[in-house]
Amino acid sequence: MLPDLGKSPSDSTCRSETDRVGSRPGTPLEIALWCSQQGWPVHPLAPRRKTPSANCRECQVRTHKPQDCPCIPSGRWCHGFHAATTDVARIRAWWGQQPGFGVGVACGSAGLVVIDVDAHDALPPQRERLLPGIPIPPAVSLNGLRHGFHSLALLAALRGQPDPAEDSTTLRVRTPSGGMHIWYAAEPGQAWQCSAGSSPSRALAWQVDVRAHGGYIIAPGTVTDAGTYTAVGSARHPAPLPAWLALELARTGHLPALPPQRSGSPVPQRARAAVIAAGGGRAVVGRTLATVLAAVSACASVPEGAAFSDKLNRAAYTAGGLVSAGHLTDSDAESALLAAALHARPTQERRALQIIRSGMSAGRQRPLMPGDFS
């Protein structure tokens, strides 16, 4: 049964298909219309499957890029999420033609980041693949760790944060295989990248995929041959992406590459986390912190003699000033600093924390105001 998706106060005077969703089993059309009402572009999935509906016959035999396809401008559903729309007339036409279509949501254009947790019981991978970029000492027992819920909970515990799978403030959807889709809203203009938990190049955690820009997610209430995608708890809308999780996504390479800085040197991925933690809209604050974090991250290429401690202390001092002036929260600043430090020196967490806390304490004595930024 489709979960009770609710309605906004402005809808209280009318009774449309989307108002009734949740009071009885929802049709795919009702699900699609509700999603479009939230501003989420939708596209058809093959009936009772979780893959996009096939392209038209011409597009099946003609090799071309979605942006060059004439079908999408003419209102056809070719090329999956590339054709996704919030246009009510188009949605009614698509699902009117094939009422059995499932509903896919284009994550990137919807501004969504969905944490896709798998529950495939299996032996864990090698320790360095369990939580990419986070060393797990041999003394730590992995007995009982069998699937993505465990690896995501471990990541959250190591960061001192609540388990996203237990986050009752956001839309969570139980999948037919026993996994979970945890829906979050990205900051406007932030294009996170997709990943698979088994990827050797970009991954958040073992058996934990990320659905974002360039991907799609199955809408709650959609029925496949395997079962129904069913919402958990009472939340029916995505909460903002938690800052700590954004930092982890930035740390693990889920941001697109930045253009070179004015000096021509590349900006390390770790420095991107600072821009997010600084609040998105305050670009000058983000650039200020990103600059000092980039210097810390760059020490990764020099095992010794890179003045790592001095650079980390300088970054912590700057962050302390930003915290004192109200530009950044204390926890976000420390998380961003630690992420950059562990990128450069993965085995020196205790030492890094000492430097960070000392530097931030000193920096708090001098609040950084806009006029202080270079």
The model scores a pTM over 0.85: no
Residue 247 in domain: no
- Indicate if 99 and 57 belong to the same structural domain: yes
**What does the pLDDT read at residue 371?**
52
347 in a structural domain: yes
Q: pLDDT tens digits, residue range 130-178?
A: 998 888 888 888 888 999 999 999 999 988 899 999 999 999 999 999 9
Q: What is the pLDDT of residues 97-131, one digit of tens each?
A: 999 999 999 999 999 999 999 998 888 888 888 99
Residue identified by tokens 């934990």 is 208
Q: Please give the Cα distance from 349 to 342 (Å, whole number).
A: 6
Q: Is the residue at 252 inside a domain?
A: no
Q: How far apart are CA 130 and CA 292, in angstroms?
A: 29
Same domain for 22 and 90? yes
> Do residues 105 and 80 lie in contact, with contact meaning Cβ atoms separated by under 8 Å?
no
Q: CB under 8 Å to 260, separation ≥6 — which residues?
A: 266, 267
Assigned domain for 89 exists: yes
Query: What pLDDT, on a 0 to 100 scale, did the predictor assign at position 6?
Result: 32
Number of structural domains, the chain?
3
CA distances from 243 to 84, 92, 216, 278 (A): 28, 38, 22, 10
Give the pLDDT score at 374. Answer: 47
CATH number of residue 179's parent domain: 3.30.2250
Asked whether residue 118 falls in the same domain as residue 228, the answer is: yes
Same domain, yes or no, for 121 and 218? yes
Whether 290 shows a pLDDT value over 90: the answer reads: no
Q: What is the mean pLDDT of the chain?
A: 82
pLDDT digits (tens, 9 = 90+) for 34-78: 999 999 999 999 999 999 988 877 788 888 788 788 887 878 888
| Residue 2 counted as domain residue | no
- Domain assignment present for 1: no
Which DSSP helix (H) or strand (E) runs through 211? Answer: strand 208-211
Check residue 263 and give its pLDDT: 41
Q: What are the phi and psi torsion angles at 216 (to 5°)?
A: -140, 165
Element (H, E) at 44: strand 42-45
- Band the pLDDT of 2: cuts 50, 70, 90: very low
Whether residue 36 is found in the same domain as residue 77:
yes
**Does residue 222 share a domain with residue 178?**
yes
Q: What are phi and psi of 101, to 5 degrees?
A: -55, 140
Model confidence at 31: pLDDT above 60? yes
Most trustworthy range by pLDDT among 213-222, 248-257, 307-316 = 213-222
Closest CA to 356 of 318, 290, 312: 312
In a domain, 3, yes or no: no
Q: Is the pLDDT assigned to residue 8 strictly greater than 80?
A: no
> CB burial class (10 A; 0-12, 13-18, 19+) of residue 234?
exposed
Domain stops at, among 65, 85, 103: 103
Position 240 confidence tier, pLDDT thresholds 50, 70, 90: very high
Q: Say what percent of the chain tops pLDDT 70.
A: 83
Same domain, yes or no: 232 and 115: yes
Q: Which of 30-44, 72-86, 206-220 has the lowest mean pLDDT?
A: 72-86
C-alpha span between 65 and 95 (Å, rounded): 25
* Residue numbers of the domain that contains 82: 9-103
Task: Give pLDDT tens digits for 349-364.
Answer: 889 999 999 999 999 9
* Judgement on whether residues 96 and 54 belong to the same structural domain of the protein: yes
Domain end (from 67, 84, 103):
103
In the structure, what pLDDT confidence band is assigned to residue 289 with cuts at 50, 70 and 90?
confident
**Average pLDDT of the residues in 296-319:** 84
Instruction: In whole angstroms, give the CA distance from residue 255 to residue 277.
Output: 14
Task: Please write down the long-range contacts of 252-260, taking CB distance under 8 Å and 24 or more positions apart.
Answer: 252/132, 252/133, 252/195, 252/202, 252/203, 252/204, 253/193, 253/195, 253/201, 253/202, 254/192, 254/193, 254/195, 254/202, 254/204, 254/210, 254/212, 255/191, 255/192, 255/193, 256/191, 256/193
Strands (E), 59-191: 102-106, 112-117, 172-174, 180-185
Instruction: Please count the other Cβ atoms lying within 10 Å of the Cβ belonging to residue 270.
Output: 27
Q: What is the distance between the alpha carbons of residues 265 and 271, in angstroms, rounded to a whole number?
A: 13
Residue 88 lies in a domain: yes
| Residue 12: pLDDT over 90 | no
222/264 same-domain check: no
The answer on 118 and 189 residing in a single domain is: yes
Average pLDDT (17-27) is: 49
Write down which residue in 103, 119, 153 finishes a domain.
Answer: 103
Q: Which of 48-62, 220-234, 330-344, 346-360 has the highest mean pLDDT?
A: 220-234
Identify how many contiguous H helices and E strands the chain contains and give both numbers: 13, 11
pLDDT of residue 284: 56
Exposure string over 312-324, b if 16+ CB within 10 A, otherwise e: bbbbbbbbbbbbb
Residues 86 and 128 in one domain: no
Q: How many CB atoms lie within 10 A of CB 301?
A: 9
> Quick one: 52 and 119 in the same domain?
no
pLDDT attached to residue 159? 87
Mean pLDDT of 81-100: 94
